[in-house]
A and B are shown apart, each in its own frame.
Chain A
Amino acid sequence: MAYSSTILKSLNEARNICLATPTTYPQVIPGVLPVIGHQQHLSLRRWGSDFLAETFASPVVSGEDKQKMSLLVLDTLKGYLDRKTAMGEEEDPAVIKSAVQCAASIYPYVFCQTLSNSNTTELWSKMASIKSIILRTMDDSAPGVRICGVKFISRVVLVQTPGLIADPRRPEQNEISLALLGRDHAVLQPSQLEAEASGLLDRLLGVLQDNSSEALVVTATLNSLSSLVHRRASIGNKILTTVLNFNPLTPAKAGSAAMGGKERVALRSMTRTTMSFLLNVLKRNPNHALAVRLQQRTEQLRHSLVEIFSDSGPGKRAAPDGPIDGLDNNKRMRLDNQMANGTASQQQHPQHPQQNMAPPPLPPGEVSYRQLFTLDPDPSAAGFHVEAIPLHTVNQLVLPLLGSIDPARLHAAVTAVQRRFLDYKQRPPHTALESARAVAGDEDEDYDPMAEVSMAGDRAQVMNRLDQAPPQGQIQEGPIQPIVLEPGPPLSEQEKEQYGKIAMTRVFSTLADLDREAKAKPGKKLDESKGFNRLAAAGVGQDREGWIMLLTRLATRTTFSLDGDQDIKQENQDRSLVKNGKAYTIADGIRQTLLTYVMDDFRRRIDVAITWLNEEWFCDRLAYQHQNPSAKTKPSMSAGDLPHYTQYVLLTLDTLITYLDTKDGKTLIRFLSEIPEIDGRVLDRVGKLADDPERIQMCSQALLYLIMLRKPARELAIEKAVELWKGNIDAKGAMGKILTRWRPDVLKEEEEEKGREVKAEA
């Protein structure tokens, strides 16, 4: 004992010399190492580990010196950390704490040394074994040691993640990081180190992901993550996301009353530390990609913290259930006050939603649905915008929430709303006078006789009549009567056309936006909350398909339904007019635009054409049945019963064929296979393809497809093939192949004919 205290005295003197002149550290360290080794007395080990931690942390010792000294102290450190195996007994946590701190400080230096000297396998393996001891034991150690382990990990991650190379010409100025390591180092494998760092980072973040309530570890982790976010951009976002998702307020779920003093301290500490962390990131980079979320989260935490602690000062106890309440000085004061004033306190803040508060009655006058359903009088709850909560959080929350609803309370709430509604219905109706006033403006306030005169005729009459109505007193209750606005003047044809065009342009521009977005982020859902999109959401879905559907229906069915029954015939008769371009209807405008839209990128949008033409066909059939209810035969294209369909399928095909090149066989086949009806005119156009020697192949494939897989069109297609075989010399070979299977007799005839000719010649 005496021995160690004299040694301590001289050690302290040595330390004082070092502190006064930091350049002496390199001489002192080798001197003290034997005295403070792991086999020495506890007091010496404590001094030693503290001294080593201090030395390598000191900002006045140069990096060069630290790097040199770090090689000397590895064994000593390992001795401290591994005392259990070496000496068979536990090491003092204080020694371990300092040793781990020291290890964290020297880690970059040993890494750097290994980096520059490739024959330092032994050195690195020593460091690696220290690391593995720390990582292995830290979770079972005292929390004091554990937090030092957390810091150690963060330092390792910092070193083993690529950092910025500030200036490649001056390597000595660079931060020590994985970026300095070449691919072919003998000892260090970059990929391995980086993988290790990533694993360690996950281990660090695990504390936050588990929403741990150990304030010490949580705050230590948060505070040690900061430098990683700041200096390692590659993992910054991952850390930030985790911190943003970390909820330090989890223990408060049960309500602040259930918490003890320690839990309160822990809760407040964790929340405030999280806020500081987020604000610090925000402050250092106000233009951060997550800046908005950082801000929001901080505000949210601040709000929740206030909410949790507002109703109770720090250290307020859980509410006791005995009658002791009256003894609480604060409450006594309030009670006294009430008695003194003789009135009930008006400032009862309904802080506890658990309380069975009767919901406040509805305000007089008009009532919105929101007011009807808002039972919690707390304005902050009503003002809370639910969309601020990310969707996945909502998903996580809703199920447990639903499960945890107290049936009695739910029932009470439903009853309350019901009662409100009944009360509301029983209120005297809102006077027509007030309603009309609300619309026409309040004359009482600024009476202007001219206004009265200038009022539109019937409105003025209404007002006059109402003025003579018996006065309703001050009662302002009752629902407002529905007000029917007078219809505007009828639109002229020109205006109709104009507005129709504008509307169409808008819808197609939305479609274009959707296409662009879909191209920009393939596979991702579109932003669904965009203004105009919501319109489409009601019926047919708000994506591109929804819009296409809407458009095709608009094109095919608007006139059909708008013009009423008697117009259908006329509409049908008008078709020829339309074709001649005499009149403009919105439907044809849409059709034209749709066609253009498809042709802009027909390879990708052929599905639109198919959808559209199917709709046309369907509508034409409906129209036909409507016109000829007694008709027994099914309407068909060839009979001219489907005017719209026929017109547009041919038009589409005509346009399409001009663009098709040799590789577009699939597009054509798809089109032909999916349109609802095919007749000779369609096949004529297909057959025209064969005029172009390059597209004979496509033509024959299309015909073959129709023959094989589209039975109703088979005969027609075969006929076409025969026709081509006969009439088109270029296409003879291709068609011959089809015909050998489907119409061998034609071939035979030909051969026979040939044979006959040969004979005749002979």
Chain B
Amino acid sequence: MSSDPRRRAQPPPPPPPPPAAATPETIPPITTLDGTTDEREIQSPPNGSTHPQQQQPPIVEPTPTESTPYTLKFCTVCASNNNRSMEAHLRLTTTTPPYPTISFGTGSLVRLPGPSISQPNVYNFNTTSYSSMYDELAGKDQRLYRANGILPMLERNKGVKWGPERWQDWRVGVPRVGRRSPAAVLQEQEGQGQGQGQGGPVQYHTTAKTEAEFKDDAGYAGTEAGTVDIVITCEERCWDAVVDDLLTRGSPLNRPVHVFNVDIKDNHEEALVGGKAILELADELNAAARRERDVWVSGGGEESGFDGGVQGAREGFDERVPEILAGWQERWPGLPALWTLAWF
């Protein structure tokens, strides 16, 4: 990529935003005069949504009106619930505080690369655990699967949750408490998977955890009710599948859900980048949502009883989503994004 010396002078890409949201209503004066002024002007998006300076939180720390600070609940989705969605799942749950997160795949089966492109390793959703996949592939060809990154990936996934889940089988709103669906675990224990690897039946090892409980999943806290506020898919195909599925379900819960797509190529490197970007998006969304609630409290909703709320406080989280996404997209032009407000 050719570079311009003047371009160098420009500040590095904005750091991941601090948790508090920007105040996009006011465009700050341009303070730096080191020859980058004009560029900066160009750089700023028309609505000036994200400037590093702006992101200094003008808002006081959330007053602890509730026992724990409010967080949005997230769901990440990719095709096989193995690479991209799991990387994002990991990212979202290793930040502090961890976001309540669950993850799914929209494919018909879990497909992992095999020895050749025509011989993928195929598993069933919901009934196969990451650890059984790991064990099987390690037994088949440890060198190959370590070299192509599958085993490290599964190892990571093992630490995040029990096994890949299919979006279409997810019963939204069914509490995720206690053990996973007994059938799944039972099947797993019997080693009855119908998955096929390299044309032959897969021999599942019976070392599956017998206590496959929801609470062992990373980011469990907050997802007990089995609903989320934000769904982030990692591929346009998955976004289509999710939106279509939600339309077909007929939205019996009457609960709004923001469905995003962040297009990430399906490889380990891109998944890492994508995970970072998703976390950034999540941080911004969460900050905006939290701010909506906090501003209400500090701005006179409850305590003062006056209508003297902070300007912009009336602008809620939901309508700011397109703006937030646009700002995020400016910083992540390589990950084309999409969004809709759907219903559970």
Name A's B-contacting residues (CB within 8 A).
Answer: 1, 5, 8-9, 16, 19-20, 22, 41-43, 46-47, 53-54, 57-60, 88-90, 92-94, 101, 104-105, 142-145, 147-148, 151-152, 155, 214-216, 219-220, 223-224, 226-227, 230-231, 260-262, 264-266, 268-269, 272-273, 276-277, 279-280, 283-284, 313-315, 317-318, 320, 322, 324, 327, 329, 332-333, 336
Contacts and interface: CB of A to CB of B under 8 A. Distances in A.
Contacts of B6: 327
A227 B250 contact: yes
B240 A142 contact: no
A269 B65 contact: no
22 contacts: A42-B301, A43-B65, A57-B173, A58-B225, A59-B171, A89-B305, A101-B255, A104-B254, A144-B318, A144-B319, A216-B318, A223-B340, A226-B248, A261-B330, A269-B322, A276-B247, A280-B248, A315-B326, A315-B330, A315-B333, A324-B42, A333-B2
Nearest to B242: A276
A88 B251 CA distance: 34
Which 10 pairs across A and B sit closest by C-beta, in order of nearness? Answer: A261-B326, A260-B46, A144-B318, A227-B250, A57-B253, A143-B319, A19-B175, A104-B254, A144-B316, A142-B316
Contacts of A57: 173, 227, 252-255, 344
Interface in B294-344: 296-297, 301-302, 305, 307, 314-319, 321-323, 325-327, 329-330, 333, 336-344
B42 to A, nearest CB: 6
Given A152-B254, A265-B329, A5 B47 contact: no
Nearest to B1: A329
A47 B336 CA distance: 36
Interface string B242-281: 0110111011111110000000000000000000000000
A680 B326 CA distance: 91
A46 B307 CA distance: 20
B204 to A, nearest CB: 29
A332 B4 contact: yes
A261 B49 contact: yes
Nearest to A327: B4
Contacts of A231: 250
A276 B240 contact: yes
Contact of A92 (B2, B244, B296, B340): B296
Contacts of B293: 46, 92, 94
A654 to B, nearest CB: 70
A413 B280 CA distance: 50
B38 interface: yes
B5 to A, nearest CB: 10
B193 to A, nearest CB: 27
B177 A19 contact: yes
B343 A151 contact: yes
B50 to A, nearest CB: 10
Contacts of B251: 151, 223-224, 226-227
A239 to B, nearest CB: 13
B302 A92 contact: yes
Nearest to A332: B2
Interface of B: 1-4, 6-7, 38-39, 42, 45-47, 49, 65-67, 171-175, 177-178, 224-225, 227, 239-240, 243-244, 246-248, 250-256, 292-293, 296-297, 301-302, 305, 307, 314-319, 321-323, 325-327, 329-330, 333, 336-344
B63 to A, nearest CB: 10
A262 B323 contact: yes
B247 A226 contact: yes
A20 B177 contact: yes
B335 to A, nearest CB: 9
A524 B338 CA distance: 45
B2 A336 contact: yes
A223 B247 contact: yes
A317 to B, nearest CB: 7
Nearest to A57: B253
Nearest to A1: B65
Contact of A320 (B42, B225, B250): B42
A314 B250 CA distance: 32
Contacts of A155: 254
A53 B307 CA distance: 27
B256 A147 contact: yes
Given A142-B314, A260-B326, A261-B326, A22 B66 contact: no
Given A219-B340, A332-B2, A262 B301 contact: no
Nearest to B303: A42
Nearest to A158: B250
B41 to A, nearest CB: 9
A327 B333 CA distance: 18
Contacts of B247: 223, 226, 276-277, 280
Contacts of B252: 57, 59
Given A318-B46, A324-B42, A94 B66 contact: no
Given A148-B254, A223-B246, A280-B247, 9 more contacts: A58-B173, A59-B172, A90-B307, A92-B302, A144-B319, A261-B326, A265-B339, A277-B247, A333-B2
Contacts of B224: 16, 19
A318 B252 CA distance: 42
A434 to B, nearest CB: 51
A276 B336 contact: no
A358 B293 CA distance: 58
Contacts of A94: 292-293, 296
Contacts of A151: 251, 254, 256, 343
B329 A315 contact: yes
B326 A8 contact: no
A223 B327 CA distance: 25
Nearest to B319: A143
Contacts of B67: 5, 8-9
Of the candidates B47, B171, B321, B322, the one having the most CB atoms from chain A within 10 angstroms of its own CB is: B322
A672 to B, nearest CB: 68
A216 B343 CA distance: 12
Contacts of A333: 1-2
B338 A272 contact: yes
Contact of B343 (A88, A145, A223): A223
Contacts of A277: 247
A20 B177 CA distance: 6
Contacts of A227: 250-251
B235 to A, nearest CB: 14
Contact of A216 (B38, B305, B319): B319
Nearest to B3: A329
B340 A53 contact: no
Contacts of A93: 292, 296, 316
Nearest to A229: B247
A177 to B, nearest CB: 13
A79 to B, nearest CB: 15
B316 A269 contact: no
B44 to A, nearest CB: 9
Contacts of B322: 215-216, 262, 265-266, 269
A324 B251 CA distance: 49
B316 A261 contact: no
Contacts of A260: 45-47, 326
Contact of B243 (A19, A266, A276, A318): A276
B315 A105 contact: no
A265 B239 CA distance: 15
Contacts of A41: 302
Contact of B250 (A148, A226, A272, A313): A226
A226 B342 CA distance: 10
B341 A279 contact: no
Contacts of B248: 226, 230, 280, 284
Given A265-B329, A327-B7, A280 B342 contact: no
A476 to B, nearest CB: 45
A651 B70 CA distance: 96
Given A20-B175, A92-B301, A327-B6, A314 B1 contact: no
Nearest to B334: A313
A273 B178 contact: no
